[in-house]
Amino acid sequence: MKRKIRVGVIFGGRSSEHEVSLVSATSVIEALDKDKYEVIPVGITKQGKWLSSSQTLALLKSGKGLDRVPERVLLPDPTQKGLVEFRCNGMDSTNEPLDVVFPVLHGPYGEDGTIQGLLDLANVPYVGAGVLGSALGMDKVVQKQIFERIGLPVTEYRAFLLKEYQRSPKMWVREIEEAFSYPCFIKPANLGSSVGITKAHTRKELQRGIVKAGRYDRKILVERGIEDAREIECSVLGNDDPRVSVPGEVIPSNEFYDYDAKYVDGKSQVIIPADLPEKVTKKIQDLAVKAFKAIDCSGMARVDFLVTRSRHEIYICELNTIPGFTSISMYPKLWKASGLPYSKLLDVLIELAVERHRERNKFQTSFKTKSRWYKE
């Protein structure tokens, strides 16, 4: 019989999006074809401890009994290619090899290139963007700067370090107010799931929002609010020649699509496909692919837009390299509406990971010198 593909699904992590990751991982693990894949759950606690057993996901959700789960880590050693278990007397010499890894880690230490760097060192194929694409996808400020440079439409914004604001708060408030009017959005630059985001209608709300965002990141982003805008999302799938889904519209239950509206209250609505003129739909899809390529993304991404109701002006909000995979998440829903059901979507993502890994391993990693100068 043909051996099943061993897929390590990594979830949890040292991030304020830890809980969202657990829900996404539940959906991914349940949807992976058990006739084709052997799923190896790998949970990372909020303290950064790596655990792997069939009960890891349930234990991370409960927060209890974690000391009973064996600690298994991935070494940055390409001769291992798998999880190595820690024991009380040291490290076990046996390991649990992985054919491919599916990171379902949202936010810092998972979506920002850190875990991707470890996987590259270990020479293990993995789903999603590489180190560069992940890092640029995580940093909303640098991402916007790149989009601006190549002429993609973004909203007006100001960005600064928390320390800069703390040294001159009046100056930064004045600069923001002179740049654009209220309302505006304040965001931590390196976070997702709308954690730490506020909408400010007044100077006091702006100041409170900056303090709140500063609890999560050293870099703050303030964006002009687009009046009467629709929230449109589009999914991208592929490596060098990506394809794009139909766009969908999010109708948030709150004033904007915050954490509660996304995951908690269950009252937000989605319309798939979004009711847009054909030309606007095509433009959104083209921009999604351009944004994907601009940051050297691969595997998958969800690109979020704002579209004005009256004139259909389009603005790119951000690109997410590890979009939510919960049962209510837009990324898989958009692909389902585009003819690619959840389980098949996972198949394609794993195939793309192996394809990129195989292509990368074709390149030379050594150079034959004319002399042994380095030994002298």
13: alpha, beta or left? (left if phi > 0; alpha if psi -120 to 50): left
Domain membership flag for residue 257: yes
What whole-number distance in Å separates Cα of residue 103 and Cα of residue 95? 19
Q: Which amino acid is at 320?
A: N
Cβ pair 72, 52 in contact under 8 A: yes
Domain count within the chain: 3
Domain membership flag for residue 63: yes
pTM for the full predicted model: 0.90
One domain, residues 187 and 234: no
One domain, residues 215 and 179: yes
Q: What is the pLDDT of residue 260?
A: 47
The tokens 């303290």 sit on which residue?
47
Domain membership flag for residue 143: no
What whole-number distance in Å separates Cα of residue 116 and Cα of residue 262? 26
One domain, residues 96 and 206: no
Domain membership flag for residue 206: yes
> pLDDT tens string for the chain (376 positions)?
578 999 999 999 998 889 989 999 999 999 999 999 999 999 999 999 999 888 889 989 988 878 877 788 888 888 877 888 866 555 554 567 899 999 999 888 999 999 999 999 999 999 999 999 999 999 999 999 999 999 999 999 999 999 999 999 999 999 999 999 999 999 999 876 567 899 999 999 999 999 999 999 999 999 999 988 999 999 999 999 999 999 999 987 655 544 444 545 466 789 999 999 999 999 999 999 999 999 999 999 999 999 999 899 999 999 999 998 887 789 999 999 999 999 999 999 999 999 999 999 898 777 777 777 667 6
Give the number of C-alpha atoms closer than 13 A to the C-alpha of residue 3, restricted to the C-beta side.
6
One domain, residues 219 and 294: no
From 171, 190, 224, give the residue that closes a domain: 224
The tokens 């100001």 sit on which residue?
158
One domain, residues 84 and 116: yes
Q: What is the pLDDT of residue 164?
A: 96
DSSP one-letter code for 346: H
Q: Residue 20 maps to which CATH number?
A: 3.40.50.20
One domain, residues 181 and 73: no
Domain membership flag for residue 44: yes
Domain membership flag for residue 137: no
Q: Residue 309 maps to which CATH number?
A: 3.30.470.20
Q: What is the pLDDT of residue 271?
A: 95
> Could you tell me the residue range of the domain that residue 182 belongs to?
156-224
Q: What is the pLDDT of residue 86?
A: 66
From 193, 224, 255, give the residue that closes a domain: 224
Q: What is the pLDDT of residue 259?
A: 46
One domain, residues 212 and 241: no
One domain, residues 213 and 237: no
One domain, residues 241 and 355: yes
Q: What is the pLDDT of residue 169?
A: 95
One domain, residues 333 and 260: yes
Q: What is the pLDDT of residue 117?
A: 96
What whole-number distance in Å separates Cα of residue 208 and Cα of residue 281? 37
Q: What is the pLDDT of residues 189-241, one digit of tens each?
A: 987 656 789 999 999 999 999 999 999 999 999 999 998 899 999 999 999 99
One domain, residues 252 and 208: no
From 197, 224, 251, give the residue that closes a domain: 224
Q: Residue 188 maps to which CATH number?
A: 3.30.1490.20
Distance of CA 166 to the CA centre of its chain: 29
Strands, sheet with 82-87, edge to edge from the N-terminal-most edge strand: 72-74, 82-87, 90-97
Domain membership flag for residue 140: no
One domain, residues 176 and 279: no
Cβ pair 127, 352 in contact under 8 A: yes
Domain membership flag for residue 146: no
